Structure 1
Amino acid sequence: MAILVTGATANIGRMVVDQLLARGATDVRALTIDPGKAGLPGEVEVVEGHLGRVGAAAFEGVDRMYLAPSPGNVAQVLEVARAAGVRHVVDLSGEPESWWGSVCEAVEGSGIGWTHLWPADFMENTLSWSRQIRESGVVREPHADTATAPIAMNDIAAVAATALLTDGHIGRAHSLAGPEILTRAQLVAHLADALDRDITFRTATREETITALEPTMGDNTTWYVDNVLIDFAPPPQSLPTTSVEDITGHPATTFNHWARLNADRFLAD
């Protein structure tokens, strides 16, 4: 029986494909808008489509699936999946009270076995600082001391693959975080070390932060600043910093290591 990966050429979906193959999965199906440009491994069955337009054929013979975030039409997708015989959905979402709560509700109400993945902020989100770093060596945000445990997308994908391939995950919600609690200023310091250049954190107003981030984040900037940088500050003691290793058996990626692997992405135009 096949495992269907939706959003298979998006950031995390593509990594889920690789993590499944690395763990020995032999019947992986990838849903993507343009199969000809997908660049997926040859052993993967590639089917055309996306979560806004999923035909029943994509689910034929599928037993388990990774569900990329799709709050707009998740109920319709799950209806098609259930009718086709899908038995287990691993979804990337968030706590019921968050902006992804509708995904959790729809998945749990679908009648399909489910596993929720609720990640902390992504390490990749710091790439929104790249232009500031290149042009001024200064990162501007409202709160230097806000602390989180950012997680690498590939670690989320590893958890997703583990949940799809091993028993004991149905009916569970996995809160995921990276291995270290770091303030925003400490993240900047790690980037300075990884990039081998002077980078400083400067406390900024809401408006200054939006102006600084807009060139890299575009239309999502105001939402991100208001909902993540200003209003979202989980207490550090609540962050599940051992979650990735507990589930996969392998240590999670540290931010310093991730920054060194991705240094060129911060410096490229």
Structure 2
Amino acid sequence: MTILVTGATANIGRMVVDQLIARGATDIRALTINPTKAALPAGVQVARGHLGRPAGLSAAFEGVDRMYLAPSPDNVTEVLELARAAGVRHVVDLSGEPESWWGSVCNAVEGSGLDWTHLWPADFMENTLTWSQQIRDTGAVHEPHPGTASAPIAMNDIAAVAATALLEDGHLGRAHSLAGPQILTRADLVAHLADALDREITFRTSTREETITALRPTMGDNTAWYVDNVLLDFAPPPESLPTTSVEDITGHPATTFDRWAHANAARFLAD
């Protein structure tokens, strides 16, 4: 049973490869645009290709039974057609609810005729790395709403769920809403980072323009869109968040933000 991991040198895809190996999988194929720089573990088959260019993917799908599908909304229908033609049976996709930004991915997967498992994660803990430069430069985080709350999830926990769904029964036709183990405000996140970095970090409630200015060095051209569509339109969490979802599915506790912050402190301090 060959498992294809797409986006295998991107953040989550690379972690899916490691999580599959940790669970004893031995027939793994990794799709990457640059095999020579992939530095994938020994024994992992490396296939050259990119979801953004489906025409060159036929060979990557040969002999594949299951696949992890990184989000690629612009080409997802064509990618799935190639996968089905090659005999792929089960797709575990990283996407979102049908009405969300990545909803087109899960809709296309359901319409493909393949067995499916959706992964619908909350905001990533890694997204706080967009604060890194302003923390270094100003000792502060500039955002509009300190009390906005969510249950952020570590990317490696998403990868662990993906590997579990690829290897174990009981996940076909299921949409797994995933969240981290704690509901935290934006100010809470800053406080945890201050502890992990062992320095004072202030949360400064900021205007839209001030927030864009503070985030632009790390987010570039996507900054205004992110501020308008995420930070200024951040929906409050529902009364019941799936804070036990990772442990329920994998059998292992999810990563707390405090633990993640301490493990990644150096990433906030490096230029």
Letter of the structure 2 residue corresponding to residue 207 of structure 1: E
CA distance in 2, matches of 1:100, 1:62: 24
SS at match of 1:30: strand
**What's the counterpart of residue 18 of structure 1?**
18
**SS in structure 2 of the partner of residue 231 of structure 1:** coil
- Structure 2 gaps of 5+ residues are none
The CA deviation string for residues 73-127 of structure 1, in whole angstroms up to 9 with x for no partner, is 1000000000001000000000101111111110000000000000000000000
Q: 1:136 — aligned with what?
A: 138
Q: Aligned partners of 2:231, 2:238: CA distance in 1, in Å?
A: 15
Alignment RMSD: 0.7
The corresponding residue for 1:49 is: 49
1:213-241 CA-to-partner distances (Å, cap 9, x unmatched) read 00001111111111111112232523210
Aligned to 1:201: 203
1:148–1:236 CA contact under 8 A, matched in 2 = no
Work out the CA distance in 1 between the residues paired with 2:16 and 2:229: 27
Query: With structure 1 as the length reference, what TM-score do the two structures score?
Result: 0.99
Instruction: Report how many residues are paired.
Output: 269
- Cα distance in 2, alignment partners of residues 112 and 217 from structure 1: 36
Please give the TM-score of this superposition, normalised by the length of structure 2.
0.98
Q: Which amino acid aligns with 2:253?
A: P
Secondary structure class of the residue paired with 2:225: helix
**Greater CA drift, 238-247 or 122-131:** 238-247
Cα distance between partner residues in 2 of 1:234 and 1:2: 41
- The partner residue of 1:167 within 166, 169, 174 is 169
- For residue 98 of structure 1, what is the aligned residue in structure 2? 100
Residue 145 of structure 1 corresponds to 147
Partner of 2:59, secondary structure, is helix
In the alignment, the residues of structure 2 paired with residue 228 and residue 113 of structure 1 have an alpha-carbon distance, to the nearest angstrom, of 31
**d(CA) in 2 for partners of 1:153, 1:199:** 24
Aligned amino acid, residue 249 of structure 1:
G
Structure 1 alignment gaps of length 5 or more: none
Whole-Å separation in 2 of the counterparts to 1:238 and 1:132: 33
Q: Could you say what secondary structure the match of 2:14 adopts?
A: helix
In structure 1, give the amino acid aligned to 2:106: C
